[in-house]
Amino acid sequence: MLASYALRPEESHGRRRPEPSHPYRNDFQRDRDRVIHSRAFRRLENKTQVFTRRYSDHFRNRLTHTIEVSQISRTIAAELQLNEDLVETLALVHDIGHPPFGHAGERTLDTAMQEYGDRFDHNLHALRTVEQFEQRYADFPGLNLTFEVREGIIKHSHDYNEKEFPQLAEYLLDQRPPLEAQLIDLTDEIAYSTADLDDGLEARILTLDQIRAGVPLFGNLFEEINLIYPNAPPKLKFNETLKRVLDRLVSDLIVNTRQRIAGAGVQSVDAVRHHPERLFAFSAAVEQERQQTKAFLYQNLYFSSALEADHQKAEQVISELFEFFMESPGELPPSYQEKMHHEPLHRIVCDYLAGMTDNYIQEQHRQFLCPATI
């Protein structure tokens, strides 16, 4: 049973190119399957989330992070009677626009593009990926996803202005996205904030005492675990605490959002779209805990000295390859050279690099810029 404010497949604005209905899969299920079978989705396995494989291949990558986001999202969607198929699809597709080397790679590409009066935006790149780069069908380029999935790619985490982004005007930029899309930005953060505490401890960049002191949500729950399991090994106490951190964030998001929906009196997708603000939100107390956790991770993990060498290497590889292909476009693959008749070279080079995995971009760097090391 779907709530009245959930988005039903039959209410979809449809695909850019109409297709016959499938006999036993609705349109959002088909979109999910197209994403899963795409090359862009498979490449997430070899793209850095936070830690490169220099640390361990047990840590999260973009693919395993995406699976965790999908699991959390489906749980919340089921509880709030949202469309689980659409939610799952949006969770699975939400990171396919990210370049290699995590956020360090994204910042470096954006800096390179700014020299040409342009920008790199991973949401916009994800849209280009599903609209242009995936070539699997004889009838059309891209995956021909439904409007709602394409809209969710653009709007799940960011509000774009139509004057600044006229090319996105079709995506109802003056309206809120459906609840299924609003959910993804918050489940993304729930997934990575808890996972990064876990991987940060395993990497020995963070310590248990440091997390207890710097993350009030974790510290308070750890005290409860200490009373319940006084003789358990520290790592198991950490695991039990982190499980409760995850549960607190998810449970609060469900309860508070349900209250906000009821308070707003929305009874349809259209009412959600025209509400003055997004309805998915944490309570004030948990929002403060979320911000404290995020600030801790930025200060002690993401910009830590331990990861600086990886960030510098990422910046070097991407910036040097960007410059190389700008000066030697004849080294680009033929399919990218063909695009030079229609798009500026800096955009083509950016698209090419952004689609690479960590392993492949390093191979390209060695081939073209460090051949003596091969």
> pLDDT at residue 374 above 50?
no
Alpha helices, DSSP H, located in 156-283: 179-202, 208-214, 216-228, 234-264, 269-273
Mean of pLDDT values over 146-155: 97
Closest CA to 176 of 158, 149, 150: 158
DSSP class of 51:
-
**Residues 332, 337: Cα–Cα separation, whole Å:** 6
Closest CA to 81 of 196, 179, 224, 173: 179
**Residues 188, 110: Cα–Cα separation, whole Å:** 22
Mean of pLDDT values over 24-30: 97
Q: Per-residue pLDDT tens for 236-273?
A: 999 999 999 999 999 999 999 999 999 999 999 999 99
> In angstroms, how far apart are the furthest CA atoms of the chain?
68
pLDDT (0 to 100) of residue 131: 95
In percent, how much of the chain has pLDDT > 70?
98
- Name beta bridge partners: 15: 146
Amino acid at 199: D
**Residues 130, 145: Cα–Cα separation, whole Å:** 8
Mean of pLDDT values over 153-176: 93
The answer to whether 101 and 52 are in contact (CB under 8 A) is yes
- Residue 22's SS3 state is coil
**Residues 35, 37: Cα–Cα separation, whole Å:** 5
Closest CA to 89 of 140, 13, 26: 26
DSSP class of 283:
-
Mean of pLDDT values over 280-307: 96
- Residue 225's SS3 state is helix
> pLDDT at residue 370 above 90?
no
**Residues 264, 258: Cα–Cα separation, whole Å:** 10
The answer to whether 202 and 56 are in contact (CB under 8 A) is yes
> pLDDT at residue 129 above 80?
yes
| Angle at the Cα of 248 from the Cα atoms of 244 and 65, rounded to 5 degrees | 75
- Residue 158's SS3 state is coil
84: its two tokens? 């689980």
- Name beta bridge partners: 97: none
> What's the whole-number average pLDDT of the chain?
95
pLDDT (0 to 100) of residue 215: 98
**Residues 90, 74: Cα–Cα separation, whole Å:** 10
In the chain, the domains with their CATH numbers are 9-308 (1.10.3210.10), 311-373 (no CATH)
**Residues 215, 286: Cα–Cα separation, whole Å:** 12
Mean of pLDDT values over 312-341: 94
In percent, how much of the chain has pLDDT > 90?
90
> pLDDT at residue 373 above 60?
no
> pLDDT at residue 54 above 80?
no
DSSP class of 195:
H
Helix axes 234-264, 179-202, angle to 10 degrees: 170
**Residues 190, 341: Cα–Cα separation, whole Å:** 43
- Residue 48's SS3 state is strand
> pLDDT at residue 372 above 80?
no
52 or 33, higher pLDDT: 33
pLDDT confidence bin for 56, thresholds 50/70/90? low
DSSP class of 25:
-
- Name beta bridge partners: 48: 61
pLDDT (0 to 100) of residue 50: 86
Mean of pLDDT values over 91-113: 95
pLDDT (0 to 100) of residue 49: 86
pLDDT (0 to 100) of residue 51: 78
pLDDT confidence bin for 59, thresholds 50/70/90? confident
Which residue shows structure tokens 């331990």?
Answer: 306
Mean of pLDDT values over 198-222: 96
**Residues 306, 301: Cα–Cα separation, whole Å:** 8
**Residues 18, 146: Cα–Cα separation, whole Å:** 10
pLDDT (0 to 100) of residue 275: 98
pLDDT (0 to 100) of residue 52: 72
